[in-house]
Homo-oligomer: A and B are copies of this chain.
């Protein structure tokens, strides 16, 4: 143990190279950048396949790309040329950590890269564990969840790419744990993660696999109700909708008190022969509970109802569109330390989140914009590899480097 005066962000001094696209791997690397690492994202000249991904601005700049690459440095290289592969290899060797969702063949194989950096940590994302491709939407189809999402037998996809988000955070976990191990063993390693394994592990961790194997089956869709406890959504008098959850006995009693309906709710037990003092009993009786509560919500605005419930310690939330979240949720403002207003080139002045972890003693950086594509090519090559101005000029003339870097909307034309 050493004490070094001023403490820095947890990953200060760590450098990572990312060659990837879409959500999972970029999110994993961005999380490491948010922890203080220097993340160099290398793309082909003109950008990777996600560079113009929707949503885009009126001018065609990708809001998606900007949001998933905040705080990284952007280097573009002709990755099909020998010079481009050599420079990328040297950057990877200098960093010692590579995150990629490209096939690990040829110059990008672990075996090749480890010759340039023996203690390399390389984390590779695939669709399935056998290397075959898959994306969030196709993995989600098989997960079971579309069958139980919504109100009827219709298969309903998740609008949130939850498997990509989880995979990105598992990738962060993989890099951090391998780095911890490397600091004691002095050795690196290759790590693989498959998107469908993230889904399968999560389905298992949440008990669905064991439930099917033990009980023979699981449940169908429950609409907005909770499984195994009481929770439901209700329309309010102002045309909004709210979610109400009472899991513990204390929350259940508070729900009765806050609504003044304790006596009526108590009639349900004997009426349906259920024990309302248990979570399971309240789940079984949910239709009757819904019926008793519904008029109370219909007679109030969403704000009145949720304020009353919150004051009583009942869990509640107002359903919001993304527009309403941005315009009316007090947590989605700079009053929440999570957020910083940034000027994102090509996008504008926007509210950007940093890491949702508050380190009391080693603060993590506030949100910073994403780079322009290729913005940092020259400075990274000069700083990290010592590439001279003359060599940069030669590389540019041979089109190993882009002629210029500029806004995303212009770079591609």
Contact = CB atoms under 8 A, between A and B. Distances in A.
Contacts of A217: 323
A388 interface: no
A229 interface: yes
A313 to B, nearest CB: 7
Interface stretch (A74-82, A144-152, A397-405): A144-152
A197 B342 CA distance: 18
Given A30-B205, A361-B187, A158 B150 contact: no
B157 A331 contact: no
Contacts of A169: 166, 169-170, 172-173
A165 interface: yes
Interface residues of A, number: 165
A233 interface: yes
Given A7-B181, A35-B177, A187-B361, A64 B317 contact: no
A296 interface: no
Interface stretch (A38-46, A218-226, A266-274): A218-226
Contacts of A200: 331-332, 336, 338-339, 353, 356
A211 interface: yes
Nearest to A157: B224
A233 B192 CA distance: 29
Contact of A67 (B180, B207, B338, B339): B207
A163 to B, nearest CB: 9
Interface in A203-232: 203-215, 217-218, 221-224, 226-229, 231
A357 B191 contact: yes
A145 to B, nearest CB: 5
Interface stretch (A85-93, A257-265, A344-352): A344-352
29 contacts: A2-B185, A11-B180, A30-B205, A54-B279, A55-B211, A57-B215, A66-B207, A70-B205, A129-B331, A137-B226, A138-B317, A144-B325, A145-B158, A145-B159, A148-B322, A149-B159, A150-B154, A155-B233, A158-B162, A162-B166, A173-B173, A176-B176, A178-B362, A189-B359, A200-B331, A204-B351, A205-B353, A218-B322, A218-B323
B148 A159 contact: yes
A338 to B, nearest CB: 5
A193 interface: yes
B191 A358 contact: yes
Given A2-B185, A23-B206, A201 B338 contact: yes
B132 A347 contact: no
Contacts of A354: 201
Contacts of A115: none
A212 B320 CA distance: 13
Interface string A117-161: 001000000011100111101111111111111110011111111
Nearest to A8: B181
A221 B55 CA distance: 15
